[in-house]
Amino acid sequence: MEDTTIEDVLKTVEKLYSEKDYSGAFKLLENSANKVSKGLWHYNMGSVLAKLEKFPEARYHLLMSERHGFSSQELNLNQELVETKLGVTKLESPLTLTDYIARGGMIGSQGYFTTIALLGIVISIWLARKKDQLKAAIFFLLCSLSFVGLNFWIENWEKYIVIGPKVIQEGPSSIFREKGEIPLGVMLITQEKEDWIKIIYPSRFEGWTKRNGLKELK
């Protein structure tokens, strides 16, 4: 697809958006998923869904936009607005050590671990040029590789956004007692067991749930 066609799609979306025809913009974007870069497509889709007051889906697309490398002040503002509407900041605030580790890992994976790894590699190369600093160079290199591995591991955590009503069970079967419901828009870190998903984070929603009503961040 040529760039002019991509520009035409985005200009039309912008025009519909300015005219407050959000349903029209949504339909156009839905039919143009393969014509626009993923980061930009998810950003526009999230912004339109927010205007349609479909906030859980909007949060999913805005987070996906970030995961695909799109970055802007407008993206950050839209994310804050959607998260405020959903009230998820309080719902996802850490309660346990597991929560703090999960939260810290997700924050660190947003470029911090990569920066530390690159810095360690630069230091290891600088030390390797010195005659008596080989052990130190190897140490910094191994530390850098550990941060690369940590970042890769966190990026591959199973993460979902709740977009439909979800009931929490005490175990991976409908015969277990219901513990409550998960509010819409919450981000979950999970482990899978066949058709059931175990909720790890946020710990206040610890338990098991089915896959339906969830959209995976991948």
The pLDDT value recorded for residue 42 is 96
Q: Can you give the pLDDT at residue 2?
A: 40
Q: Measured in whole angstroms, how far is the alpha carbon of residue 37 from the centre of its chain?
A: 17
* Burial bucket for residue 97 (CB in 10 Å: 0-12, 13-18, 19+): exposed
Per-residue confidence (pLDDT) for residue 178, from 0 to 100: 93
Q: Which two tokens stand for residue 86?
A: 């959903």
- Alpha-carbon torsion 165, 171, 176, 180, what sign? negative
pLDDT of residue 72: 93
What number of other Cβ atoms are within 10 A of residue 139's Cβ? 15
Residue 78 tokens, joined: 């839209």
134, 188 Cβ separation under 8 angstroms: no
Asked if residue 75 lies in contact with residue 52, where contact means CB atoms within 8 angstroms, the answer is no
What residues of the chain score a pLDDT lower than 50? 1-4
Question: How is residue 139 written in tokens?
Answer: 């140490």
Q: Kindly state the tokens that stand for 47.
A: 């912004």
